Amino acid sequence: MKLRTRLIISFCIIIFVPVLLAGATMWGFGQYQIRAARQIYDLGGNAYDYFANAFQMLSSFTKEDYGKLKKTAQETPEKLEDRAYLDKANRALAKKYSYLIVRKGAVLTYNGNPKVDSSLGERLPEYSGEGGMGAESGLYLEGEKQALVKQIDFRFADGGKGSVFIVTAMERILPEIKGVMLDLFISIVLILVFTAGMLTVWIYQGIINPIRKLEVAAQNIKAGNLDFTVEADGRDEIGELCQSFEEMRCRLKESAEEKVAGERENRVLISNISHDLKTPITAIKGYVEGIMDGVADTPEKRDKYIRTIYNKANEMDTLINELTLYSNIDTNRIPYNFNRINVSDYFEDCVEEVGLDLEAKNIRLSYENGVQQDVLIIADPEQLRRVINNIIGNSVKYMDKEQGRINIRIRDVGDFIQVEIEDNGKGIAGKDLPYIFDRFYRTDASRNSATGGSGIGLSIVKKIIEDHGGRIWANSREGNGTIMYFVIRKYQEVIN
């Protein structure tokens, strides 16, 4: 879920969930209180009407008691002077937060609530005639002690004027309301806490947990540890960030591994170059000392020594050139000068050039051209010649036959020309064949002073061919020789 959507939902939950739950709670408490009021106060009809009209509700509390007292006043008024009867009636009214007052003339003969302010007696209404007000009516007395008063006027047995008052104290009416309000307040607080807790857990799982994962990942990277995984739990912005962080970790790990591999390859290169330079330097020193000590005391010996020194110097020059070219390859700075080249003319010149050297080494060279005279390619002549010389140089280096043989074939394969260079040397073992184009890879057989080699010759060849948009591969049978193949795309002129 997107972070924006999550925030919108959170906002809606914060606004609507507490409102709905609070409304449901208030409705439930209201239903409970209405049922309680019906049972305790014997409310009839629609209870909501009583709560809407407080006066009507208060009047209805003592309706039944009012009827009983009025009947007593009319039929047996002497009971209203009986203390036991009055106490019993007062106890019944006390359950409804009311009490009884009896007045004879101007004197209060009975007060069901001695704690009441005496000023209340002075505010009671005067005798107005037998009967008084109705059961549904009453008089509201204001002041410090507010009360609802119902009055029954009657005549005592001795003919004296009397009044019975049912007083409902306003400050005591429905004390449950305070408890209800407190319960309602606590419920609303619990609803808010529940909503906040629910949102906290949801946001924590959706945002805080992934951020903590990223924090741990950042600490690992800071410590140089890249062997871990950042798992993206969702598809929101945080999940996308986790995925990007994981991709960054993978890139950093690859870069670190490449750096380690590069350093290892550089050490191998230095070791190989040191080994391969030591051999011709040792030979040059030996032949120079021979000349200086007078060992080469004839023109023929001196000529042989000098020629050997020259050849060893050429070997060193070749190694240094390979090292320079390797450095350019490693930084992708090989200088190319691409031109249109006629395939037939170019390879005839190459064959003629290398043929003289091979003839001096007792290696027979054959050439077969299978492309038409007008076929062109786009290539760098110097770098392509380096490819051919490196491949033929490898063939000569590992030639183990008395009569060596190298065959160069040019074939037309559709949009490409395919060059095949075959020798009858010692061949390459099957286990080594997949790795011969890797940098610094040399078979065990090549690790000797006779063949030497820096191990970067064929990797240079592969890089040059691939930069020309081609491909190179090899087939070999150990003991029978090797065939190197590479293809380069033909030049095709675009006609508008």
**Residue of 143, 178, 161 lying closest to 33 (CA atoms):** 178
Separation between Cα atoms, residue 146 and residue 141, nearest integer Å: 6
* Nearest residue to 148 (alpha-carbon basis) of 117, 175, 120, 169: 169
Whether the predicted pLDDT of 185 surpasses 90: no
Q: Which of 461, 457, 484 is nearest to 473 (CA)?
A: 484
pLDDT (mean) for 252-256? 87
Supply the pLDDT for residue 172.
55
- Residue range 392-407, pLDDT digits in tens: 988 988 888 888 999 9
341-363 pLDDT per residue, tens? 999 999 999 999 888 888 888 89
Q: What is the pLDDT of residue 186?
A: 82
pLDDT in tens, 256-299: 888 887 787 777 767 777 777 787 888 889 889 888 888 888 88
Q: At what angle do helices 63-75 and 54-61 cross, to 10 degrees?
A: 50
Give the Cα separation of 46 and 36 in Å (integer): 14
Closest CA to 196 of 6, 7, 4, 18: 18
Tell me the CA end-to-end span of the chain in Å, nearest whole number: 52
pLDDT at 305 over 80: yes
Catalogue the long-range contacts made by 192-195 (C-beta closer than 8 Å, 24 or more residues apart): 192/18, 194/21, 195/13, 195/14, 195/17, 195/18, 195/21
In this prediction, residue 330 carries a pLDDT of 63
451 neighbors 377 (Cβ within 8 angstroms): no
User: Over the stretch 109-129, which tens digit does the pLDDT of each residue have?
Assistant: 888 887 766 666 677 888 887
Kindly report the average pLDDT of the chain as a whole number.
79
Virtual torsion, Cα 124, 126, 132, 137, nearest 10 deg: -40
Residue 447's pLDDT is 44
Q: What is the pLDDT of residue 254?
A: 87
> How many CA atoms, within 13 angstroms, populate the side-chain half-sphere of residue 88?
9
Residue among 324, 411, 319 nearest 368 (CA):
411
- Report which listed range, 43-52, 169-178, 371-380, 453-462, is most confident: 371-380
Burial of 158 (0-12, 13-18, 19+ CB in 10 A): exposed
Residue 217, pLDDT above cutoff 90: no
DSSP 15-27: HHHHHHHHHHHHH
pLDDT for the residue numbered 56: 56
* pLDDT confidence band for 316 (50 / 70 / 90): confident
Structural contact between residues 379 and 416, judged by C-beta atoms closer than 8 angstroms = no
Q: How confident is the model at residue 481 (pLDDT cuts 50, 70, 90)?
A: very high
How far from the centroid of its chain's Cα atoms is residue 305's Cα? 72
pLDDT tens digits, 427-444: 888 888 888 888 767 665
For 108, the enclosing helix (H) or strand (E) is strand 107-111
Write down the CATH number for the domain with range 337-489. Answer: 3.30.565.10
Cα–Cα–Cα angle for 360, 366, 371, nearest 5°? 140
pLDDT at residue number 355: 87
Contact by Cβ (8 Å): 347, 482: no
* pLDDT at position 138 over 70: no
Predicted confidence (pLDDT) at residue 445 exceeds the cutoff of 50: no
Q: Is the pLDDT of residue 224 over 50?
A: yes
pLDDT digits (tens, 9 = 90+) for 9-54: 777 777 777 778 777 777 776 676 666 655 555 555 554 454 444 5
What was the pLDDT predicted at 345?
94
At 102, list the tokens: 């009896």
Share of the chain above pLDDT 70, in %: 77
Q: Would you list the domain boundaries of the chain?
A: 3-50+177-205, 53-174, 337-489
CATH class for the region spanning 53-174: alpha beta
